[in-house]
Amino acid sequence: MSRFVARHSRIALDTSVFIFQIEENAKYVGITNQLFRWLSSAKGEGVTSTITMVELLVHPYREKDDDRVDGFYALLSTYPNLAWIPTTLEIADRAAKLRAQHRLKTPDAIQAATAVASQATGFVSNDPAFLRVGDLDVLVLDDLLGSSKGQLGR
């Protein structure tokens, strides 16, 4: 992870990264902790699409867990050095092109288009579909786990 973040001044984060961090997923939390420490530092700058919040809130709303919804908002909307980027017409157009070119699902195309439009050069996810997007240096968490237990970037 340290090599990956050193290559980028701005990194986009996919929804899975937030899920693993919030749920303290045993397999991934060591890596996501490193990423969120970097994001909290003066040199860290992250972006994510507002679609991330949509994806994060589905289960708490389905379970009628208002405390969890409030917790997500409290934590994520105030996280330092993290910009929440709304889907503009420019991003929607770019997402449509990415979806057509790379056969991405709509939420993934919006995430990738948001990253590109926000001038993020790195993208962290656990979905290898993003590797098809040539405009981004993509880090797939499972790939990182396969290389020295999360200490090296791709």
| Nearest partner of 76 among 114, 44, 36, 38, judged by Cα | 36
Contact 3, 124 (CB under 8 A): no
What domains, with CATH codes, occur in the chain? 2-150 (3.40.50.1010)
pLDDT greater than 60 at residue 120: yes
The per-residue pLDDT of the chain, averaged, comes to: 91
Mean pLDDT of 78-91: 94
Token output for 62: 């389905």
pLDDT greater than 80 at residue 134: yes
Q: pTM value?
A: 0.89
Q: What is the pLDDT of residues 13-69, one digit of tens each?
A: 999 999 999 889 999 999 999 999 999 988 889 999 999 999 999 999 999 999 989
pLDDT greater than 90 at residue 143: yes
pLDDT value at residue 153: 39
Where helices occur in the chain by DSSP H, the ranges are 2-6, 15-22, 29-40, 51-62, 66-76, 89-102, 106-117, 141-145
| Nearest partner of 51 among 76, 23, 79, 30, judged by Cα | 76
- Tell me whether residue 85 is exposed, middle or buried, using C-beta atoms within 10 angstroms of its C-beta: 0 to 12, 13 to 18, 19 or more: buried
Report the SS3 class of residue 67. Answer: helix
pLDDT greater than 90 at residue 76: no
Contact 45, 80 (CB under 8 A): no
pLDDT greater than 90 at residue 11: yes
